Amino acid sequence: MTTQPTQGHDGPYPAPIVVTERSVLPEWIDYNGHMNVAYYGLAFDNAIDQMFDNHIGNGEAYVRAAAQGMFVLQSNMQFLQELRLGQVFSVSFQLIDHDTKRLHFWSEILFDGQVCATQEVLAMHVDLTSKRSAVFPDWLQARLAQLQADHAALARPERLGATLGIRRG
């Protein structure tokens, strides 16, 4: 088991990080004629994997080598604009906060300059053998500190921490 980085880089990091240009596939379209809600989750998840691999270094190769990885504790998605068959979108990421075991980040699915969906996530670093939380290795803590510093000037997302409920009056 290794805890040395096998992917990613030490920064500086783009603010925000934008990854994955992907087309809406035919099997993602539901009977309403737009991308089904389940595939927004898949699009966010695939993009975070790409961001972890290419930038932070805690993606699949790290998980296999270290037997440690990220588990989502909480996620909140908001759907703001439809995505339709064949439309090409990207996903942006902003690190909101982190500590020695957790990440709080914000993601947006973007099409033609418009935010179509958002996702706010709280995730925990977990030892896959014990299934218990684990402290990030030193190199990952350093990268997250750099990412936090690089994202510090970004505006706090307006919808961050949104509550769910029916608005009255």
User: What is the three-class DSSP state of 32?
Assistant: coil
Rounded-to-integer distance, Cα 77 and Cα 82, Å:
14
Asked whether the predicted pLDDT for residue 3 surpasses 80, the reply is no
The reported pLDDT for the residue numbered 2 is 54
CB 90 within 8 A of CB 14: no
The reported pLDDT for the residue numbered 1 is 54
User: What is the three-class DSSP state of 92?
Assistant: strand
Cα torsion 128, 61, 145, 50: sign:
negative
CB 128 within 8 A of CB 67: yes
Mean residue pLDDT of the chain comes to 96
Structure tokens at 47: 């993009």
Tell me: the pLDDT tens digits for 7-56?
999 999 999 999 979 999 999 999 999 999 999 999 999 999 999 999 99
Residues of the chain with pLDDT > 70: what percent?
Answer: 98
The reported pLDDT for the residue numbered 72 is 97
CB 46 within 8 A of CB 106: no
The reported pLDDT for the residue numbered 20 is 79
Give the CB-side neighbour count of residue 34, counting CA atoms within 13 A: 9
The DSSP output letter for 165 is: S
The reported pLDDT for the residue numbered 4 is 81
Cα distances from 49 to residues 8, 19, 137, in angstroms, run 12, 10, 18
For each of the domains in the chain, give its residue range(s) and CATH number, in order of start. 17-142 (3.10.129.10)
Mean pLDDT confidence for 127-147: 98
Rounded-to-integer distance, Cα 44 and Cα 75, Å:
11
Residue 5 — pLDDT band, cuts 50, 70, 90?
Answer: confident
Closest to 85 measured CA to CA, from 28, 132, 46: 28
117 forms beta bridges with 79, 109
Closest to 42 measured CA to CA, from 114, 107, 122, 113: 107
Tell me: the pLDDT tens digits for 37-47?
999 999 999 99
